[in-house]
Structure 1
């Protein structure tokens, strides 16, 4: 009996151990299998989550680049909360595919691979003592495309850059405008005061005069230093940034004579346009005594600033005895006609509204009349047909900044509106920024010959479809900054300087 018990124990124990081992192995195997199945189910379930209208294959792409959305408002939402890393550059051009609308908002169209130009939100400027006239103009320059890039190029290309006091101080301000930049702000003001001592003495001055002094001072420094800008590559895809080409346009003044039918032209550069407030314009501006005086488009001016530009570019007539022909030197008995038009418009078009007028007591006062100015308008109405490289489609301009003066002539306050989000047509900007220096004497001869031979020109009138993206406007008054609506900006009753750019 004892022997049988021992035999059973010897058999039972190994079998029990073996079965236990087998059960443990089976348990372990199914445990691992269950975890694998559960994990696969979780992954599959998470993959079914959609962002907007995107499937699981697009999730990683979306998190990296942002949603491929048809509503342009996603740009603002992304800028406010969707970016963990703040942009280091003041602007960035990215490729987008978005829905945009035409100027009248009549229909939606699709723009594939458009260029969206974005700036960081504005930072205010400290008032250094009645310097709102200075701060407001600077805000417009902060948000001018490629202004900082053109100055940065000079820093690396001009051996005498350290001697360009105004240019150097403006670039240092632009590089630090998003941090505490009071010292740089004061340096720019001091550099401007060295050119015109009326600025920086603690009194309220004219913002338009300040702007002309600043831009003119920079261009004079470059000209006196005999330096030119060299091409560089920037992230917007625009090469060859010339600071002069950015702001400088060319006027053509055309003279025609009844008696000899001669044509004479002169050229003059400009950086800003000052227009009058025109209640009425001469409706005979289309009755051209010579087709060489024609503009690219013969459309009627619609907005108040277009009426001001029409007055600036209207035909003037004289007796030939008062304005004899300088080509043949014959003193005729007919009429001589003169017209100043835009021959080459700049990519950045600055329009000053002349609000000065004489009152009944023969004193200079401010004209507070409200003017209508468009968000987008076409310069073809004011450009000469003598420039055969221009067309209506290349002359659309979009508003991106407004300097406002509130108050009377002897006092008041300046502030600015700026737009930080705009569409960017690379091809149009390249045409302007890559423009070579013109031989004006040779151009003068060629244009005169062209106008003498041809007296009929094709009218390039016609509305062009203009697209826009949802923009981001800000109100900036010294250090105070807040968002603004486009309705608040357009046709402001105290608008003083308008900043347009090629659209």
Structure 2
């Protein structure tokens, strides 16, 4: 019996071991087979992403694109993300889109995603929060640094442009210790307006106008403008003036003679009042030449302020006689100021100053509603036939806030570091050549005399959305913020929009 047991064990153990080895081999084979099948299915399912990123992978291998050098391809290659020094990146990705019914659709399309590095705070040099907050908005303005860099290599006497040179040096070092450069910009601004840099709290909007106006004046006085560059050449010509400067058109029409007269004026910022109510008669046009591209009603508070800024004013012709025919009529004369050419960067100042019951200037702390994206067609003249509703969408990217009373308080900023970028729209703005305003004046007057009916270009356009990145920046303090925290802030003072 014992002998039989030993024989059975000698047979059973080798057989068991052999079967175990076979089962392990079979398991290993099917495991490898299953991974291969899964990988093939995954590649097939993500074929659109593979195709969508193919151009970026090729660009990453051969370096920056020659067609658009302001963007640098950024992709995960081999599971490791390539770090780039350039702040802007060209991407193709899936975008959530809300259709008119509110339902979300997902589509994959080629588009530009403009990304900045997270903000670095500015040291307070002594009540300079008004200065720091405006600078933060400029830090995150598309192509602002690029435009100054182009001047550095194209202007022979760039070293003599003290303000322009100091601002560029600050932009180049803003991500490291830049206190000295910050002080240099403040000193250069003080040379233009000595109220700044005295250690007292000043107005952030006045500082911004002084800074931008000072740079543009240096360029104009030095006669150093960027040469227009052919877009087809693959080089982006970035005019600093075109970046911020828009054109107003003021239209005069007269009942008696039906003459039309226009004037043009440049602007770099818009200052709007806080309007509780607007006159609904602003849509009743005595002359269709006063019409805007879109006749939609203003919905947000800043749109109401823009409606007040661009409303129709009427006078007796005896008080405002026609300068075309020099005939003093007995009817009405009408005047309306509209935007003829909006800039790619639209800066809107909310006028919060008001007189109280004691005839003293105080701060109007009323909360205003301002959209993240809105359309400027409601405030642009039909006289500019090159504009359309689709080209006039603007997206909020920075807000300067003033908290506290008129005589003191604190300034800080919100900035968005991630936005979509429509290259074609920006190039249309940035390549704009200087206008012959006298010739334009004659052409527009003739156009408005001949045409009295215009097609209303109203209608909401579908806008792509991406996940943005908002930050709160107060001097040297920086932290992330939500878009809900930014939109309709009760103390918003300066709004920065860019063409979307």
Fold conserved (TM > 0.5)? Answer: yes
Asked if structure 1 preserves the Cα contact closer than 8 Å seen for 2:347 and 2:497, the reply is yes
- Cα shift at 1:109: 3.8
Q: Which runs of 5+ in 1 are unaligned?
A: 57-63
CA offset digits 1:280-335 (Å, max 9, x no partner):
00100111000000000000000000000000000000000000000000000000
* Cα separation, partners in 2 of 1:68 and 1:165, compared to 1, 3 Å: closer
* Cα separation, partners in 2 of 1:128 and 1:295, compared to 1, 3 Å: same
Where does residue 44 of structure 2 map in the other structure? Answer: 44
Asked if structure 2 preserves the Cα contact closer than 8 Å seen for 1:429 and 1:502, the reply is yes
* Cα separation, partners in 2 of 1:470 and 1:261, compared to 1, 3 Å: same
CA offset digits 1:19-59 (Å, max 9, x no partner):
99999999999999999999999999999999999999xxx
3-state SS of paired residue (1:52): helix
- Cα shift at 1:240: 1.6
CA offset digits 1:230-257 (Å, max 9, x no partner):
3579999772210000000000000000
Asked if structure 1 preserves the Cα contact closer than 8 Å seen for 2:248 and 2:265, the reply is yes
Map residues 371-390 of structure 1 onto 2, 5 A cutoff.
371-390=368-387
3-state SS of paired residue (1:492): coil
3-state SS of paired residue (1:55): helix
- Cα shift at 1:94: 3.0
- Cα shift at 1:462: 1.0
* Cα separation, partners in 2 of 1:238 and 1:2, compared to 1, 3 Å: closer
Take 1:127 and 1:263, find their aligned partners in 2: how far apart are those partners? 52
Asked if structure 2 preserves the Cα contact closer than 8 Å seen for 1:256 and 1:290, the reply is yes
Query: Which stretch of the first structure deviates more once superposed, 353-362 or 236-245?
Result: 236-245
* Cα separation, partners in 2 of 1:319 and 1:180, compared to 1, 3 Å: same
Take 2:297 and 2:434, find their aligned partners in 1: how far apart are those partners? 33
Where does residue 218 of structure 1 map in the other structure? Answer: 215
* Cα separation, partners in 2 of 1:31 and 1:247, compared to 1, 3 Å: closer
* Cα separation, partners in 2 of 1:111 and 1:250, compared to 1, 3 Å: farther
- Cα shift at 1:122: 0.4
Take 1:469 and 1:166, find their aligned partners in 2: how far apart are those partners? 36
3-state SS of paired residue (1:331): coil
* Cα separation, partners in 2 of 1:322 and 1:178, compared to 1, 3 Å: same
- Cα shift at 1:466: 1.4
* Cα separation, partners in 2 of 1:102 and 1:433, compared to 1, 3 Å: farther
Asked if structure 1 preserves the Cα contact closer than 8 Å seen for 2:74 and 2:84, the reply is no
* Cα separation, partners in 2 of 1:84 and 1:28, compared to 1, 3 Å: closer
Larger Rg belongs to: 1
Query: Which stretch of the first structure deviates more once superposed, 223-232 or 419-428?
Result: 223-232
CA offset digits 1:362-417 (Å, max 9, x no partner):
00000000000000000000000000000000000000000000000000000000
Q: Which runs of 5+ in 2 are unaligned?
A: none
Asked if structure 2 preserves the Cα contact closer than 8 Å seen for 1:72 and 1:470, the reply is no
3-state SS of paired residue (1:48): helix
* Cα separation, partners in 2 of 1:68 and 1:483, compared to 1, 3 Å: farther
- Cα shift at 1:345: 0.2
Take 1:147 and 1:391, find their aligned partners in 2: how far apart are those partners? 26
- Cα shift at 1:228: 1.1
3-state SS of paired residue (2:335): strand
The size of the alignment, in residue pairs, is 496
Asked if structure 1 preserves the Cα contact closer than 8 Å seen for 2:68 and 2:236, the reply is no
Asked if structure 2 preserves the Cα contact closer than 8 Å seen for 1:72 and 1:100, the reply is no
* Cα separation, partners in 2 of 1:49 and 1:421, compared to 1, 3 Å: closer
Take 1:323 and 1:19, find their aligned partners in 2: how far apart are those partners? 107
Asked if structure 1 preserves the Cα contact closer than 8 Å seen for 2:65 and 2:71, the reply is no
Query: Which stretch of the first structure deviates more once superposed, 207-216 or 234-243?
Result: 234-243
Take 2:138 and 2:358, find their aligned partners in 1: how far apart are those partners? 38
Asked if structure 2 preserves the Cα contact closer than 8 Å seen for 1:238 and 1:429, the reply is no
* Cα separation, partners in 2 of 1:427 and 1:9, compared to 1, 3 Å: closer
- Cα shift at 1:227: 1.1
Asked if structure 2 preserves the Cα contact closer than 8 Å seen for 1:404 and 1:416, the reply is yes
Asked if structure 2 preserves the Cα contact closer than 8 Å seen for 1:341 and 1:382, the reply is yes
- Cα shift at 1:91: 2.6
Query: Which stretch of the first structure deviates more once superposed, 229-238 or 154-163?
Result: 229-238
- Cα shift at 1:108: 2.4
